[in-house]
Structure 1
Amino acid sequence: MSGSILYCGDTDLNGAASYLAGMLTTWNFNFQYIPSNQRISIADLEKPRSLLILSDYPAANFAPECQEAALKLIQQGCGLLMIGGWESYHGFGGDWNGTPLAAALPVEIAAQDDRMNFDQSAWLVPATEHPAISGLPWLTRPPAIGGMNHVTPKPDSKVVLEAHTFKATYAGTSNSADSSNSGWSFTPDQKYPALVTGQYGKGRTASFLSDVAPHWVGGFVDWGLPRVTGQAAQSQGIEVGHDYASFWKQLLTWTGQVGT
């Protein structure tokens, strides 16, 4: 990498941040972590950076002058990835709509609560070919998520993954399901952008609209065998699915332009 990753949010290393931080440590990616309740400083943005990750990190902790400094980094080639959550996009306390950094993201952020919860799960499926999702069994074994932020892709962006919902119903007459599964039906319902990519200056940008850690991540966190373990310094250990980990490594590698 040309610089380290600046990873901000997901509460702290004893909580949700342990997932991505654990994988970054396993991959030997150099990163600096800032918890959700800590403000970013200009000094944090004066170091060489390959990628800025914002995940459940409120805009209130990223002052406008710091956002302008981050925009300059992105224009010069630093990647930008925002991951979904209650304090991402608009969410419930994220409030990223109308901010300087919102201009660099490949999606338009709503001016009101954009959180969506799926009581029957949504399935992640590819909308196009892309290096961030290549080689993974999206169509033969699609992973399920439990929620996401709802956004609108910008005209010059690319929708890479979609979240498809289905209405699952049982047409049998008894109080218990038929063991032959013949009474079940799965009807396609809605689809929403789940991964959108773009460009801002020389920097690549990406918006993943679901979460990296429970609860919205759903069964996606366990996608694929064998199991992958990891533990960042001063953090708890994690255990995740191989395909889930591969997706994140490919997405971060592409967005941060690793090896290019």
Structure 2
Amino acid sequence: MTKRVLIAGESWTVHSIHQKGFDSFTTTEYSEGVKWLKAALEAGGWTVDFQPSHVAARDFPYTAEDLAAYDCVILSDIGANTLLLHPETFTKSKVLPNRLHSIRDYVARGGGFVMVGGYLTFQGIDAKGQYAGTAIEDILPVTLSRFDDRVESPQGITPKVALSHDTVASVNGDWPDMLGYNRVTPKEGGNVVVTVGDDPLLVTGTYGQGRTVAFTSDCGPHWAPPPFVEWPGYAPLWQGIVDWAAGK
């Protein structure tokens, strides 16, 4: 039976100004950070559809019925505004479905949902992720800050398994350090599976008939440094998370 997951986000464009005395010029570079997560899930038998942020802005499914084509939906480093402000709504005032509501309804009917941390997920840098108070916070097993929720840990911080759970059942040995995460508060009924310091890293829960997961650090650099993405436990971890969220 085919397992199908949609990943939205994990892309960015950097526009640089090079000033050399009197003269200057600009360069632009587009990058994606999905390759480690995508490879891990494909190795676990998942068919992965990936929408970088600029594609998701227009093409992310409109309705819960559209999302039902997927066993699981993952948002990673993509702000709420990208899904709320479809280009046709922002530039032409066209009335379209609220896609955060659509994700909520999809999960309530049995879909799986995973939010991965980053500078534009949960609340993120300068609170620009803007998921606090939305339908996404309703379905997550955690409560979000209303402020910048980043915890930068350049010295490294070691995840610790706190609860035996299917999401980490195939992950063996010590975890490599991570370099930061989004600080959240577990909801009543949420299961804190892995911690970083005094804060949760991996929390699982349910909403309606569906399952949801908050993974508060990144799936790739910079918060997930090379030793983490190259770790033998990386693929079993993500396979376990998405399999559990999808009820597989």
Q: Would you call these one fold, judging by a TM-score over 0.5?
A: yes
Q: Aligned-pair distance for 1:19?
A: 1.8
Corresponding residue to 2:82 among 58, 61, 71: 61
In structure 2, relative to structure 1, the CA distance for the partners of 1:27 and 1:3 (3 Å cut) is closer
Asked if the contact 1:220–1:244 (Cα under 8 Å) also holds between the matched residues in 2, the reply is: no
In structure 2, relative to structure 1, the CA distance for the partners of 1:156 and 1:211 (3 Å cut) is same
Asked if the contact 2:122–2:130 (Cα under 8 Å) also holds between the matched residues in 1, the reply is: yes
The structure, 1 or 2, with the larger RCO (C-alpha pairs under 8 Å, 6+ apart) is 1
SS of the residue corresponding to residue 113 of structure 1 reads: coil
Asked if the contact 1:211–1:217 (Cα under 8 Å) also holds between the matched residues in 2, the reply is: yes
Corresponding residue to 1:102 among 137, 141, 153: 137
- For residues 148-227 of structure 1, the aligned pairs below 5 Å read 148-164=181-197, 191-218=198-225, 220-222=227-229
- For residues 83-94 of structure 1, the aligned pairs below 5 Å read 83-92=116-125, 93-94=128-129
In structure 2, relative to structure 1, the CA distance for the partners of 1:103 and 1:245 (3 Å cut) is same
Partner AA of 1:36 in structure 2: S
1:49 maps to 70
Asked if the contact 2:32–2:52 (Cα under 8 Å) also holds between the matched residues in 1, the reply is: no
Q: Aligned-pair distance for 1:11?
A: 0.7
SS of the residue corresponding to residue 241 of structure 1 reads: coil
Q: Aligned-pair distance for 1:6?
A: 1.4
d(CA) in 2 for partners of 1:15, 1:2: 25
d(CA) in 2 for partners of 1:129, 1:65: 36
SS of the residue corresponding to residue 86 of structure 1 reads: coil
In structure 2, relative to structure 1, the CA distance for the partners of 1:62 and 1:45 (3 Å cut) is farther
Higher helix share: 2
d(CA) in 1 for partners of 2:124, 2:147: 8
Q: Aligned-pair distance for 1:219?
A: 5.1
Asked if the contact 1:150–1:209 (Cα under 8 Å) also holds between the matched residues in 2, the reply is: yes
2:10 maps to 10
d(CA) in 1 for partners of 2:109, 2:221: 34
d(CA) in 2 for partners of 1:28, 1:127: 28
1:242 maps to 232
Q: C-alpha deviations, 1:103-128, integer Å up to 9, x for none? A: 00011111110011113211111111
- For residues 127-146 of structure 1, the aligned pairs below 5 Å read 127-138=162-173, 141-146=174-179
d(CA) in 2 for partners of 1:133, 1:3: 19
In structure 2, relative to structure 1, the CA distance for the partners of 1:220 and 1:196 (3 Å cut) is farther
Asked if the contact 1:2–1:50 (Cα under 8 Å) also holds between the matched residues in 2, the reply is: no
In structure 2, relative to structure 1, the CA distance for the partners of 1:148 and 1:45 (3 Å cut) is farther
2:107 maps to 74
SS of the residue corresponding to residue 49 of structure 1 reads: coil
Please report the TM-score for the alignment, with normalisation by the length of structure 1: 0.76
2:92 maps to none
SS of the residue corresponding to residue 129 of structure 2 reads: coil
Partner AA of 2:245 in structure 1: T
Provide the alpha-carbon RMSD of the alignment.
Answer: 2.1
Gaps of 5+ in 1: 165-190, 223-239
Gaps of 5+ in 2: 13-29, 85-96
SS of the residue corresponding to residue 53 of structure 1 reads: strand
Please report the TM-score for the alignment, with normalisation by the length of structure 2: 0.79
Q: Aligned-pair distance for 1:14?
A: 4.8
